[in-house]
Amino acid sequence: MTSARVDKQYDGNEAVGGDAPEEGYERGLGSRQVQMIAIGGAIGVGLFLGAGANIAKAGPSLILMYALAGVIIFFIMRALGELLLYRPVSGSFAEYSREFLGPFFGYFTGWTYWLMWVVTGMAELTAAAIYVNYWFPSIPQWVTALVFLVILFGVNLISVKLFGELEFWFSMVKVTALIGMIVIGLGVLTFGFSSAGDTAAVSNLWAFDGFFPKGIGSSLMTLQGVMFAYLAVELVGVTAGESEDPEKTLPKAINTLPWRIALFYVGALTVILCVVKWTEFAPGVSPFVEAFAQIGIPAGAAIVNFVVLTAALSSCNSGMYSTGRMLRNLAESGEAPKAFKKLSSTKTPAFGILVSVLFMGIGVILNYVVPEKAFGYVTSIATAAGIWTWLMILISHVLYRRAVDAGRLPASSFPAPGGAKCSYIAIAFLLFVTGIIAYDADARVCLYVMAGWAAALGIGWRVLKSRNPQIAERGTSQFQKVG
């Protein structure tokens, strides 16, 4: 997509966004599906499972950490939204990095986002197999993981509409479960029914050693896990090239993010911690499973197990979708093999999806023989890759706003509130979280992996430049003054 740039003129009174390039994809994602993909991206295994360990570390103050991180995520998404309405393209993060920071950053961001989803897919597939093992312990884990891998691969090959429909129902299950949990919890608090009714109270948020029982430092240390829970909210940006009406669907999906975070993260955790005191939760146990058990709902654990299974499959499904598009974007820019450029008869990047699936399959094998601690390493690598992606979105947004202010580019029809100021705040926050990861002995291994990944990509870039020097030349057309 390197040749598609903004040539559109404007008269100074009316700002217009850039034209989206014709990428060959089917614009098969309707408003209903984009909305649910956006909602589903904000609800993942990081919430359903990861919150248990974080509650044990931070107590009720975890609610504040999710709220704080949620504000930053909204800043990131509004920055992305302004860029998307300036020029909606599939594989947007790499494309904007390429345009505003240079070809190397587009190349690095595209491959790093691909890595994020591949390693996430590895973990999610194995997790899904573990969840199925709850009902069918006699079926080997690798068999279940392989079956899910093949099914989701087939769904992504058939059409973007089928992907969108499957993701819609995956998200519907997660949303329904969380709303049900909130309603039941509020019922317990209000009417005192169930076995948890006698001890359920809002005062549980501060009655056991205060709101910050382990200290503010311990609360801040949970931010790395909290940010992992928010990974995939940016998936809306990858759908831009296949949305039926991005001018309408994308702003709506992004603007509803605050209430989604408030309801599904802050709201759900607040209700759970009012119903069950925080000292009852432990690492490795879903807080939702524990809450259902305390309330005494029949088959509660089985219900939550099904929901968590859905969350894992949803994440893996999204990973296959996004990796194929990102590889095609890289190939279009000469930064990946040309074979990734081809679309199948159903207008899907089939070869890119296939290669990504093969790498995810390697993860299934590795997780079969590697101890459970490998899951923690995988999620920390995904978080580090996600932070890089978010930083590139924010820095691209800052540079775009500079270009608009200087009259070099047309203004977006969906400007971020506060302009570039909120992006600067979000950049500082993400650098702070990176510092927390470096301070944590268990999590910092991901920074070593990312350093090795950066070195490998650096070598790859030198090889690409030696074969095709033009790849490192950024065009000037996108910086020409308009109007």
Q: Is residue 184 part of a domain?
A: yes
Per the structure, the count of domains in the chain is 1
Tokens of 466: 């030696």
Backbone angles phi, psi at 243, to 5 degrees: -85, 140
| CA distance linking residue 128 with residue 132, whole number of Å | 6
Q: How far is CA 39 from its chain centroid?
A: 11
Contact 407, 5 (CB under 8 A): no
pTM of the entire structure?
0.84
> DSSP assignment, residue 261?
I
Q: Which residues pair with 417 in a beta bridge?
A: none
Structural domain containing residue 291: 31-464
Q: Is residue 478 part of a domain?
A: no
| CA distance linking residue 48 with residue 229, whole number of Å | 9
What amino acid occupies position 83? L
Tokens of 21: 């390039």
CATH number at residue 374: 1.20.1740.10
What amino acid occupies position 344? S
| CA distance linking residue 336 with residue 333, whole number of Å | 8
Q: What is the CA radius of gyration of the chain?
A: 22
| CA distance linking residue 148 with residue 309, whole number of Å | 11
Q: Is residue 11 part of a domain?
A: no
Tens of each residue's pLDDT in the chain, 483 residues: 333 333 333 343 333 344 444 455 555 566 666 666 666 656 766 777 678 888 999 999 999 999 999 999 999 999 999 998 898 776 567 889 989 999 999 999 989 989 988 888 887 887 788 778 878 888 887 888 889 999 988 888 877 777 778 778 888 888 888 888 889 889 988 888 777 778 888 999 999 899 999 999 999 999 988 888 888 777 776 665 566 677 777 787 788 888 888 888 899 899 999 988 999 888 767 788 778 878 887 677 788 788 888 888 888 887 888 888 888 888 888 888 888 888 877 777 889 999 999 988 877 776 666 645 566 677 778 888 999 999 999 999 999 999 999 999 999 999 999 989 999 999 999 999 999 999 988 788 889 989 999 999 999 999 999 988 888 775 433 443 333
Q: Is residue 21 part of a domain?
A: no
Q: Is residue 260 part of a domain?
A: yes
